[in-house]
């Protein structure tokens, strides 16, 4: 492992993952972008903070749940690739998702249209359904943990960590209780047992927040918020944002019932109603059984539990104690570092040499053939192993005049170069064996009974051993022991290893295949076709025009052979829409950049969803007038300084063009006067990077002090001014710039700032951090 004393950047974990940079941080872990050295692909690595890495019991739960999460394979789940421990670092390797979180979308747009929010909730629900079927409960569903990729796919992050962090009570993480209490189910707030119904409640909270931009329950302290989850009725989303269908209000109300038994029986039922809502928004949904309502109103103590306010207050006290403990830990660490710094200085030279030797060492991928004739085969094979060379074969031949195991012929001449990864070129070595020995032939893929007969006919003692595999047909020989080509004495024992089918089989991927093709694949996998559900439009089509949208169980699930697979079938249009029988568009966010040409400022840049009407404004500087707006192709899109721009499905740049006001023509005089020497002027252009506005651009004489100002937009902070060579000229938003003897462009750089309720999310991470 490479070492960097200033942080993990540059380190190589597990001999495979080189950390590039920090991309996010939360209460429990830091997230880094890393490169997989074996494939060159990008991955995300979560490294637990020291206070969690040293907790043995926490690590045990973390490992158990992370391994369970790694078994999940679903297009709407951030894939967990593995976990590891190196030095003082406990880490998890995950799929890197380039995109933004749902929380970022809410912050950017205020709230999401229900036609956008519902499809996102459907995708999250499908991910949770897959997890629940595999025995995994997320326990921390919130907008911060849902990524929207550039391909418009919603991906659920932090499977496993959430469950490991809350397996006892919500007090296990210092920031997690405070950061997630808004999304807790009532049973989580009580510290009771938590199951799939808790994820349904949290998904309902998230759907409410997407629709309204507000949380259903909020308060000054975690205790106050938890009490509201336990006691107060859920408000209607339509009371915050008009136009939300009553059926959607009812669905949210049912998903957020105080008692788990009154919520949806499964997240699949939740998704089914959301899907039906997209088809018929005016339908009746979210109906709670009258019988259940009556039972709920009866004074049954097992349904209505008294909230554990003392337990919740213990949460806050536990957090305070942990923070105080961290201060003591920091002091102790400083003292220890002071004591050992002398030793570290002595070892620094050796460490740096080790790092230098381990970085950028080119791997030798070429093997040079030597002369092996006359040498023994065991000696040569050991040499091959030392050089990681595997592209060779050994043929044993009865040969008089040679001692046993001596190489008498090679297929490639000495000096020939072979790529170690080559599949075409192999070095064949012929090795002598005494004439009284027998050479075992190749019996792989032969019927077991036939191979056994042939070996016994040659005088061998034959035994058989089954090996469970799906790589070979049932009853076929996989290999012999000793291996084919080995020279043995007559009458030796030979073991035939043959294939035996597994008791279980993995459900194949059938999504987007025609029903006719899916039926063939199901039969090839020793499975049966169970119930088939069709969309209305697909019922009258033939099997080559019907497409599989979903399977139950889902692809990748292990089932017994001859099990029935339920199919959900629709039209090709349904398949193209992502496998649901209704359109589920999820508009992607794109960047709108604004620039100026001439003296003036602009505002309205930012990241917006496709189809959103964005108001942009242009303000001419003194002595200038606004002319028009042009897009990235230099086409005029508006001649008014303020207009609503419809966001396209790609990043876009708009430029506001300003022109100097006409100079009044002076009245000529009869008396000739000397022509004044005009001081040349130069254009000072101001542009922005990020979201904000600037002023002070215009034409000025060299040497003039020009006051320039930068005004960040809401949610952004000013960072610095840079000139046309990208050199920083000022770190204050307002300063006096000395005009040079040339035209110049200054750029104001703005950066987003974290909102108060978004302290643990990162918009450029592959996954969000659970607190």
Query: Domain for residue 76, yes or no?
Result: yes
Note whether residue 36 is domain-resident: yes
Among 95, 119, 142, give the residue marking a domain's end: 95
Taking 70 as the threshold, does the pLDDT of residue 11 lie above it?
yes
Lowest mean pLDDT segment, chosen from 118-122, 163-167, 306-310, 366-370: 163-167
Note whether residue 157 is domain-resident: yes
Which residue carries 């806050």 as its tokens?
316
Instruction: Answer yes or no: is 7 within a domain.
Output: no
Assess whether 644 and 658 both reside in one domain.
yes
Q: In the prediction, which pLDDT does 177 show?
A: 34
Average pLDDT, the chain: 80
| 218 belongs to a structural domain | yes
Do 76 and 132 fall into the same domain?
no
Q: What is the pLDDT of residue 302?
A: 29
pLDDT for res 607: 85
- Say which range, 121-125, 148-152, 642-646, 759-763, has the weakest mean pLDDT: 759-763
- pLDDT-derived band at 403 (thresholds 50, 70, 90) equals confident
Question: DSSP of 536-575, one letter per residue?
Answer: GGGTTS-TTT-EEEEEESPTT-EEETT-EEEEEEE-HHHH
209 and 297 together in one domain: yes
pLDDT of residue 299: 35
Is pLDDT at 599 greater than 80 in this prediction? Answer: yes
CATH value at residue 415: 3.30.10.20
- pLDDT value at position 408? 87
* Residue 292 pLDDT class (50, 70, 90 cuts): very low
DSSP string of 78-114?
Answer: PPEEEEEEETTEEEEEEE---EEEHHHHHHHHSS--H
**Mean pLDDT, range 207-224, rounded to an integer:** 92
pLDDT at residue 390 greater than cutoff 60: yes
pLDDT band at 200 (very low <50, low <70, confident <90, very high): very high
Domain termination site, one of 433, 462, 485: 433
CB-side neighbour CA atoms (13 Å) of 24 = 31
Residue 44 located in a structural domain: yes
In total, how many domains does the chain have? 6
Assigned domain for 740 exists? yes
What percent of the chain has a predicted confidence (pLDDT) above 70? Answer: 79
pLDDT at 309 over 60: no
Per-residue confidence (pLDDT) for residue 478, from 0 to 100? 92
pLDDT at 762 over 50: no
**What is the per-residue pLDDT across 722-732, written as a single tens digit (0 to 9) for each?**
999 999 989 99
The domain boundary, picked from 46, 64, 95, lies at 95
Q: For residue 675, is pLDDT > 70?
A: no
| Pairwise pLDDT comparison (769 vs 677), residue with the higher score | 677
Q: Identify the domain containing residue 611 by its residue range.
A: 589-663+678-758
Active site residues: 140
- Can you say whether the dihedral through the CA atoms of 272, 274, 275, 277 is positive or negative? positive
Residue 601 has pLDDT above 70, yes or no: yes
pLDDT value for 344: 66
Tell which residue, 134, 50, 45, 165, has the closest CA to residue 95.
45
Tokens at residue 303, please?
């349904």
Q: Say yes or no: 360 and 379 in one domain.
A: no
pLDDT computed for residue 652 by the predictor = 92
**CA separation for the pair 511, 550 (Å, rounded):** 6
Lowest model confidence (mean pLDDT) among 121-125, 211-215, 334-338, 441-445: 334-338
On whether both 532 and 640 belong to a single domain, the answer is no
- Please tell me the predicted confidence (pLDDT) of residue 55: 76
Q: Which of these ranges, 1-10, 312-321, 431-440, has the smallest mean pLDDT?
A: 312-321
Q: What percent of the chain has pLDDT over 90?
A: 34
- Residue 346 and residue 253 in one domain: no
Residue 62's pLDDT band (cuts 50, 70, 90): low
Q: Are 216 and 235 in contact (CB under 8 A)?
A: yes
DSSP structural state of residue 375: S
Determine if the pTM surpasses 0.75.
no
Which residues does 429 contact at the CB level (< 8 Å), separation at least 6? 372, 377, 380, 392, 393, 394, 395, 407, 409, 410, 411
Asked if residue 271 and residue 206 are part of one domain, the reply reads yes
Looking at the domain assignment, is residue 500 inside a domain? Answer: no
∠ CA 714-718-723, rounded to 5°: 135
Contacts of 717 (CB under 8 A, 6+ apart): 750, 751, 752, 753
The pLDDT of residue 265: 94
Rounded mean pLDDT, 19-44: 86
For residues 341 and 373, state if they share a domain. no
Relative orientation angle of helices 196-212 and 102-109, to the nearest 10 degrees:
20
Q: How confident is the model at residue 448 (pLDDT cuts 50, 70, 90)?
A: very high
Residues 234 and 355 in one domain: no
- pLDDT confidence tier of residue 84, bands split at 50, 70 and 90: confident
Same domain as 393, residue 282:
no
CA distance 42 to 53: 24
Point out the least confidently predicted range of 164-173, 189-198, 469-478, 492-501.
Answer: 164-173
Residue with tokens 């987003």: 752
User: Which residue is listed with tokens 């005049």?
Assistant: 401
Q: Are 60 and 73 in contact, with CB atoms under 8 Å apart? A: no
Mean pLDDT, residues 386-397: 86
pLDDT at 343: 59
Q: Are 292 and 274 in contact (CB under 8 A)?
A: no
Under the banding of pLDDT at 50, 70 and 90, the label for residue 618 is very high
* More confident call, 749 vs 87: 749
CB 598 within 8 A of CB 608: no
Say if residue 676's pLDDT is above 60: no
Look at 35-49, 349-363, 448-462, 645-659 and tell me which has the smallest mean pLDDT.
Answer: 349-363
Instruction: Pick the closest to residue 318 from 167, 175, 220, 161 (CA basis).
Output: 175
Structure tokens at 585: 């568009």
Whether 205 and 312 map to the same domain: the answer is: no
Inter-residue contact 623 to 599 (CB < 8 Å) = yes
Please report where in the chains the tokens 């918020």 appear, as a residue.
Answer: 225
- pLDDT of residue 175 exceeding 70, the answer is no
Whether 221 has a pLDDT exceeding 70, the answer reads yes
The DSSP code for 666 is P
Considering the domain architecture, whether residues 657 and 737 belong to the same structural domain is answered as yes
């Amino acid at each position: 492992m490479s070492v960097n004393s200033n942080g993990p950047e540059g380190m190589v974990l597990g001999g495979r993952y080189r950390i590039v940079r920090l991309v996010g941080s939360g209460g429990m872990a830091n997230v880094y972008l890393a490169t997989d050295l074996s494939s060159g692909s990008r991955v995300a690595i979560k490294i637990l903070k020291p206070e969690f890495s040293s907790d043995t019991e926490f690590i045990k739960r973390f490992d158990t749940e992370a391994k369970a999460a790694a078994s999940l394979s679903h297009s709407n789940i951030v894939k967990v690739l593995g976990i590891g421990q190196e030095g003082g670092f406990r880490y998890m390797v995950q799929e890197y998702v380039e995109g933004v979180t749902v929380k970022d979308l809410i912050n950017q747009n205020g709230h999401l249209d229900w036609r956008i929010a519902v499809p996102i909730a459907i995708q999250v629900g499908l991910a949770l359904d897959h997890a629940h079927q595999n025995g995994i409960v997320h326990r921390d569903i919130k907008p911060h943990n849902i990524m929207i990729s550039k391909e418009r796919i919603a991906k659920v992050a932090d499977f496993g960590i959430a469950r490991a962090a809350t397996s006892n009570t919500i007090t296990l993480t210092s920031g997690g209780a405070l950061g997630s209490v808004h999304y807790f189910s009532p049973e989580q707030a009580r510290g009771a047992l938590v199951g799939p119904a808790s994820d349904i409640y949290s998904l309902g909270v998230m759907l409410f927040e997407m629709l309204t931009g507000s949380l259903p329950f909020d308060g000054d302290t975690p205790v106050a918020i938890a009490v509201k989850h336990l006691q107060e009725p859920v408000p209607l989303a339509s009371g915050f944002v008009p136009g939300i269908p009553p059926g959607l209000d009812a669905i949210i109300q049912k998903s957020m019932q105080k008692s788990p038994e009154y919520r949806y029986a499964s997240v699949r039922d939740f998704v089914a109603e959301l899907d039906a809502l997209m088809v018929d928004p005016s339908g009746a949904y979210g109906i709670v059984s009258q019988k259940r309502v009556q039972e709920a109103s009866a004074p049954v103590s097992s349904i209505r539990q008294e909230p554990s306010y003392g337990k919740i207050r213990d949460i806050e006290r536990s957090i305070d104690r942990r923070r105080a403990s961290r201060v003591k830990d920091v002091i102790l660490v400083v003292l220890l570092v002071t004591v050992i710094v002398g030793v570290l200085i002595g070892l620094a030279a050796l460490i740096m040499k080790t790092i230098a030797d381990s970085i950028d060492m080119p791997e030798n991928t070429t093997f040079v053939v030597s002369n092996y004739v006359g040498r023994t085969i065991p000696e040569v094979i050991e040499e091959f192993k030392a050089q990681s060379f595997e592209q060779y074969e050994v043929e044993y031949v009865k040969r008089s005049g040679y001692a046993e195991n001596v190489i008498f012929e090679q297929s490639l001449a000495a000096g020939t170069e072979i790529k170690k990864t080559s599949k075409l070129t192999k070095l064949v070595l012929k090795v002598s064996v005494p004439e009284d020995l027998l050479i075992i032939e190749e019996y792989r893929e032969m019927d077991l009974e036939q191979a056994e007969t042939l070996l016994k006919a040659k005088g061998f003692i034959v035994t058989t051993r089954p090996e469970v595999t799906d790589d070979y047909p049932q009853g076929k020989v996989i290999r012999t022991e000793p291996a084919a080509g080995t020279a043995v004495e007559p009458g030796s024992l030979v073991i035939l290893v043959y294939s035996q089918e597994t008791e279980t089989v993995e459900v194949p991927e059938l999504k987007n295949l025609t029903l006719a093709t899916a039926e063939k694949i199901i039969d090839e996998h020793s499975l049966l076709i169970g119930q088939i559900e069709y969309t209305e439009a697909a019922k009258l089509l033939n099997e080559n025009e019907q497409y599989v949208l979903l399977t139950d169980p889902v692809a990748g699930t292990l089932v017994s052979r001859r099990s029935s697979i339920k199919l959900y079938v629709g039209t090709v249009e349904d398949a193209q829409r992502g496998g649901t029988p209704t359109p589920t568009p999820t508009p992607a966010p794109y960047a709108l950049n604004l620039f100026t040409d001439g003296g003036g400022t602009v505002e309205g840049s930012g990241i917006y969803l496709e189809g959103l009407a964005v108001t942009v404004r242009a303000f001419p500087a003194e002595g200038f007038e606004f002319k028009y707006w042009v897009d990235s192709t230099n086409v005029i899109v508006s001649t008014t300084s303020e207009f609503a721009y419809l966001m396209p499905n790609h990043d876009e740049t708009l430029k506001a063009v300003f022109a100097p006001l006409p100079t009044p023509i002076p009245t000529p005089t009869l008396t000739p006067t000397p022509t004044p020497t005009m001081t040349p002027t130069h254009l000072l252009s101001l542009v922005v990077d990020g979201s904000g506005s600037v002023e002070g651009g215009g034409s000025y004489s060299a040497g003039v002090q020009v006051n320039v100002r930068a005004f960040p937009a809401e949610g952004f902070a000013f960072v610095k001014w840079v000139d046309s060579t990208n050199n920083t000229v000022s770190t204050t938003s307002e300063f006096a710039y000395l005009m040079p003897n040339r035209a110049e462009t200054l750029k104001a750089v703005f950066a987003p700032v974290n909102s108060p309720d978004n302290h643990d999310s990162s918009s450029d991470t592959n996954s969000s951090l659970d607190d």
